[in-house]
Each structure stands twice: as structure tokens, then as C-alpha cells.
Structure 1
């Protein structure tokens, strides 16, 4: 483990975890995240960012008009905060390493737009790619945290409807179970350096607003995945959401899905977000980029 990991973990414990434990205003949370993302998490040099109606394209001048292989990426933020703008640094680095454009769609946030608004918007983004001529086998779904759960929920929804499946799906520290029944939610309450376990129900209720947390469109842990392509999952061993990945991987394997499951050491929630500062984040993105290239075989990489 790098020395940067220890420094980052301490900073997150003293700042982000304390802030997330007390903030109650979604607008304040969103504004703070946007400010910090703009200051500390810009895209890497050389990756073009193109704003289009409904989202961002990252990864080259032709990304917004091409019909070749593409990564469809959903940002995290507990379905309450975050945006393509806050996560463009992470997605742009992945685009650079994989040699593929990334589409980051805007999806509606809770509490103003509760479940299933986010999934509806995710489905529209996928169908838009198909409509412009991108073949299902050229699309890789992905996301982080709630966005990782959203990517998995979309995959389950496509399977349930018998729709065309993408080439694969990946997720960083995904939120897959809104019943919060995993043992790690309590076992890792003290060692998780970023997420305060006591706020999970608050955030979930902003999104669900009375909907059943066992609905497979909200909690992909309860979805069917017959016929799904390979899935790549990663999570930190000390995260409260560790079991969201462990049980998700076991559930997928039980339905015949090929799963790559990476359980890392003492790393923070969605550590690839910190790729610029954390060697482990950069290494994880490089490993994922190789996995993605195997799924869609782009003509060129970085």
C-alpha cells in the first residue's frame, strides 16, 4: 500500500465523513461537491470534454458523433448529489486509458425526483446509444457507488425485459442493496473512512420515498441476470458497503454470469475517483481499462 493511501484516509475521515454525517440540505451537499470536484478532480490533459444535451462525452473530438464502442457511465452520489461535471475527471481518465469515449448522462436526482426516475433516465441513455447505431455488443455499462448500483439495475432491467444486453458492466463500490442487510454495514462502521453508516437510511428514503427497497430496479441484488455479459466489481475491504459487492458477485455467479471481483485493502469508497493522488486508484483504472478492451476490442488504446 502507498503512503498516499494513509494520508488520504486520514483526510477523508476528518473532513468528508464528518460532513456527510451532519449535512441535511441536498442543495448544500451538491454545491459543495461541485466546488471541490472543480478544484481537485479535473480531467487529465488531452481528453476532450464535450457537453451535449443530457450529458457529457469524454474522449476525443469524434466521441459525440461516432457510433463505435462506448462506455456508458453513471456517476455516484447516493442518488441525491453528483453530476457528470463532478465525475468527469474519473471518467475522462478511464476514457484515456481504455481508448474509448465515455458518455456520462444526466439523470434526475432525489428527493425532487424519486425512484424510479434515475433508472428511467439510465434506460433512455442506453436506448439513445442504440438509436444512433451503437451495437449492444459495443456498449459497456459502468458507474460508482449509487451509479454502480444504477448500472447493475439497468443491466437487470434489460435482462428482465428481454432487451439487447451490453458487452459488459463494471462498478466501483456499488450500492446494490437498499435494504442495507449486509453484515459489513455494522462490521465496518468504524473503519470506513468516508461513509457514515448512520446516514444510509436517510439517503435511501430520499430516493425511495416509500418504494419497496427490495424492488430489483432499486436494489439489483434482487434482480435476475440471465444472459448478461461479464461483470467487473471492486470494493474496499474496510467499506461499509463491502457486502454489497460480495453478495452481488455471488448472486451474479449463481445465475451463470462471469464475474471479476476485486476486494482491495484499506482503501476508501470509490478510490479510483482519487486516481490523480492515489497510486492504487490509477492502478485500478488501468486494470479495468484492460478488462474493457477485452470486451469491446477498440481499434486503439492509450
Structure 2
């Protein structure tokens, strides 16, 4: 583990995690994620523009070969209550700069003002609009991190059910089971660098609205899979959501999908977000870009 990664882990563990443990309401979490995102400015190269796709405000990032490359539909993280296209534009922009193509980042509706399945429904609307605009399903790659990784996995199941599977899916530390049945939520609680495990049940109640936590729109671990496209799943070994990735990868493999599961020793939640400051994060960006190019 690099010195820089150790430093960031320490800042998360002793600074950010205690703040999340004590936070009341979602305003602080939203403002905090915006503030953190300012430490990671977007890269030079990709062009950005705001547009409305399927009635959903989105940010589109375009690389040098955007007309010919993949279209990465990225659902941002933030525990379903925070985050935005703005807070995640830098990480996704770095992926596009290396991989080429373009990315679409929806500003989907968030809880508690808009409980589930509002965010999922917005993702479906954007996906349908891309299809209607003539983007071939196989050219689209679904992606997301944390809660957005769960949403992206749910969109994959929906696309497969409609017979329009994407070219692939990229999931970074996905939150795929809101029933909180993963053993690592307890076994990794003390080692987790960022997320306070004791707040997870409270978050689920804030997010789920009238849905059962096992509803596949919230917990894609329980979705029906067709195994139609390759997947890349990246997760740290000390994360409380480690088992969400392990069980999701196994479910996809049982359906016949080719799944590349990368377990990064000691990596914090959504390691790739720490690029360009952390060498392991830069390596993960390159891994994601190589996966996209392979499609």
C-alpha cells in the first residue's frame, strides 16, 4: 500500500468517518461530498455539457473519439441521498480521457425528498432515451459506484429483461443488498475507512419509501440475471460492502456472465475516486478504461 493511500485512509478513518457517524439529516452529507469533490478537479481533455435526457438533467462528457467509442451511463454514488454529476465528473472524466468515448451522468432524484424507486426510475428513463436516440444497446456500458453501483446493476437486470443488454457493466464498491445481510457489514465494521456500519439501517429506512429492502430496484442482488454481458467489479477487502460485491459477482457468474472481480487489499470505499493523488486509484482508472476498450 502506497504512502499516499495510507494517508487518505487515515484522513477518512479519523476525520470523515466520525463526521458521518454523528451527522444529522442529509444536508451535511451533501455539502461534505461537494467540498471533497473540489479536491479532485476534472482532467483536461473531455468536453462537458449539460442536457436533459429522458426528462432527467444530465452531464455529458465527451472524449476525443466520442462519436465512435462507448457510451458510459454512470450512476453516481452518495448513499442514495447525496452526490451528483458534479461531484463525480472528475472520476468519470478520467475514465473517459483514457478509454475514449463519452459518458452520461444523470442527476437522478435522491432520498429522502424522493425515496425509492425514484432514482432507479430516472436511470431507466435515461436508458430508454438513449435507445430511442439510436444508440445501440451494445454500445452502452452501464456503470456506477456505491449506491450508484447498485442502481447500475438494477438497470442491467432491466435491460436484460427487455432483451436489450448493454455491452458491459462497471461496478465500484456497489451497494447491492439493502437488506444488509452481508456478513462484512459486521466483520469489517472496525476496519472500514469511511462508512459507519451502525448508520446503515437508518439509511435504509430513509431511502426505501414503500419498497421492501429486498426489491430488486433497491437490491439488485435479488434480481433475475441473464448473464448477457461481461462485468468488472472492484472493491476493497476491508469495506463493509465487500460481501455485496462478492455475492453479486457470484450471482452474475451463476447466470453465465464473465465477471472480473478485483479485490484491492485495504482499499477504501470507491478507490478510483482518489485519482489523481493516489497511485492505486490511478491504476484502477486504467483498469476500468482497459475493460471499456476491450468491449
* Structure 1 Cα separation of the partners of residues 107 and 68 of structure 2: 20
Structure 2 residue 48 is the aligned partner of structure 1 residue 45: no
* Structure 1 Cα separation of the partners of residues 138 and 119 of structure 2: 23
TM score, norm. by length of structure 1 = 0.93
Aligned to 2:60: 57
Paired residues for 1:135-146 under 5 Å: 135-146=136-147
The 3-state SS of whatever aligns with 2:181 is coil
Deviations 1:193-244 (A, max 9, x none): 1010011111111110242111111101001111421111010000000000
Paired residues for 1:148-187 under 5 Å: 148-160=149-161, 162-187=162-187
Aligned to 2:285: 285
- From the superposition, tell whether residues 195 and 163 of structure 1 become closer, same or farther in structure 2 (CA, over 3 Å): same
Query: Over aligned residue pairs, what C-alpha RMSD do you find?
Result: 1.4
The 3-state SS of whatever aligns with 2:244 is helix
* Structure 1 Cα separation of the partners of residues 293 and 68 of structure 2: 16
| Cα shift at 1:62 | 8.3
The 3-state SS of whatever aligns with 1:15 is helix
Question: Unpaired runs of 5+ in structure 2?
Answer: none
Aligned to 2:73: 72
Aligned to 1:18: 18
| Cα shift at 1:68 | 5.4
Structure 2 residue 118 is the aligned partner of structure 1 residue 84: no
Contact persistence 1:155–1:228 (CA under 8 A): no
Paired residues for 1:251-270 under 5 Å: 251-270=251-270
* Structure 1 Cα separation of the partners of residues 277 and 31 of structure 2: 23
Contact persistence 1:157–1:217 (CA under 8 A): no
* Structure 2 Cα separation of the partners of residues 172 and 227 of structure 1: 19
* Structure 1 Cα separation of the partners of residues 222 and 137 of structure 2: 24
Contact persistence 2:65–2:101 (CA under 8 A): no
Contact persistence 1:236–1:263 (CA under 8 A): yes
* Structure 2 Cα separation of the partners of residues 42 and 203 of structure 1: 29
* Structure 2 Cα separation of the partners of residues 209 and 133 of structure 1: 34
Give the total of aligned pairs: 291
Contact persistence 2:68–2:101 (CA under 8 A): no
Paired residues for 1:96-245 under 5 Å: 96-160=97-161, 162-245=162-245
Runs of 4 or more, structure 1, over 3 Å off, are: 60-63
**More moved, 215-224 vs 47-56:** 47-56
